[in-house]
Amino acid sequence: MTEPRPDSRPTLEAVAAHAGVSRATASRVVNGGDGVRAHLADRVRTAIRELGYIPNHAARTLVTRRTGAVAVIIPEPEIRVFSDPFFSRQVRGISKELTSHDTQLVLLLVEDRGDYDRIERYLAGGHVDGALAFSLHADDPLPAIIGRLGMPTVFGGRPGWTAGPAEQDGVAYVDADNRGGARDAVRYLLGQGRRRIAHIAGPLDQTSAADRLSGYRDALAAAGPELFAEGDFTPAGGARAMAELLERDAGIDAVFAGNDLMATGALRVLRESGRSVPQDVALVGFDDAEPVAESADPPLTTVRQDIEGMGRLMARLLMDSLNGGPEERIAPRPVITATELVRRASA
């Protein structure tokens, strides 16, 4: 058998010679192809390890027509993505799953509307095999871009956009039971004897915020007056909404915030107004995203969603679609994950 020179990078031919197989057989094993008998494939893999062979990515792409990369698109400004633990946990889950498939993650963020042209050029350039996208707003052009390109995609969150493919029932997505989780939170507050329960909603052009508002309304029906203000999923937005709600009704005795970050902003305003939590006003958030809920003072009662698990599931659905044949493509159906009310000192 021929050994490569010590000063040269091992070639596919060297791997084939070391394993005692043809170059074509070695190539099929390296590129993940079928039709190689198990004992021959084992010999090729052993040769790869012993020689320290590193596949040529460009050549592998030509053979498999796969780049080994997936775009993760978040239509939010950089400052929001890196300050909200929701995003880091979702990306962490996606990254773990893609790593298990030996696939690279390419993160694409949107600072302004002009970035969509850049993203469309990048996706059209064949740099990635598919896309994962979440935190979309109703007027987001991303679904239309993806539809034009025919890019395999799994979305995070229930579709609610106004642009793009009309057949939203056929869109693959992963979401939490936002409406049910919100309903549980408000029913819990009612069970604690609270009757003037306000809601700080997230941006209502996002389906997660709209669904949580619907859950609030479901639980509150016939139980008390409806009172809500729209925030933006940030502490500052929660503070502004809380101040607005107190101006409208000074007798509020409970608040359900659409996420934990807004709950921390509400907590600050309640404290500044002389109200104690939970004695005067009970407070419940949504997400249970580390470290926000547990590090609040008092720690937040909140609705937990498995953020990292949803990220992994999104990536798994996409990889299943990319790796399977036409009959194994992901079914065009939603995947809704359960939520859980976590009781802490704020309520």
**Torsion sign (Cα): 292, 283, 224, 234:** negative
Per-residue pLDDT at 55: 64
Q: Are strands 173-176 and 334-337 parallel, antiparallel or unpaired?
A: parallel
Q: State mean pLDDT over 303-320.
A: 95
d(CA 11, CA 13): 5
Q: Does 326 score more than 60 pLDDT?
A: no
pLDDT digits 0-9 by tens, 3-55:
444 446 788 788 889 889 888 888 777 766 667 888 888 888 898 888 887 66
Tokens describing residue 212: 């949580």
d(CA 203, CA 286): 14
What 8-state DSSP symbol labels residue 165? -
Distances (CA, A) of 112 to 20, 205, 232, 289: 56, 17, 17, 27
What Rg do the C-alpha atoms of the chain give, in angstroms?
25
Question: Directed axis angle between helix 23-30 and helix 38-51, to 10°?
Answer: 80
Element (H, E) at 154: strand 153-156
**62: Cα separation from own chain's centroid:** 31
pLDDT digits 0-9 by tens, 187-242:
999 999 999 999 999 999 999 999 999 999 999 987 878 999 999 999 999 999 99
**192: Cα separation from own chain's centroid:** 33
Tell me if residue 87 falls in helix, strand or coil.
Answer: helix
Tell me if residue 339 falls in helix, strand or coil.
Answer: strand
The percent helix, strand, coil of the chain (3-state, each to 5) is 45, 15, 40
d(CA 45, CA 53): 10
Per-residue pLDDT at 340: 97
Per-residue pLDDT at 29: 78
Task: Output 267 or 330, whichever has higher pLDDT.
Answer: 267
d(CA 337, CA 7): 53
How many CB atoms sit inside 10 A of residue 324's CB?
A: 11
Question: What is the rounded (10 degree) CA torsion for 194, 200, 205, 211?
Answer: -20
pLDDT digits 0-9 by tens, 90-107:
999 999 999 998 899 999
Per-residue pLDDT at 87: 95
Per-residue pLDDT at 1: 45
pLDDT digits 0-9 by tens, 109-158:
998 888 999 999 999 988 999 999 999 999 899 999 998 888 899 999 99
Q: pTM for this structure?
A: 0.80
Q: Does 59 score more than 70 pLDDT?
A: no
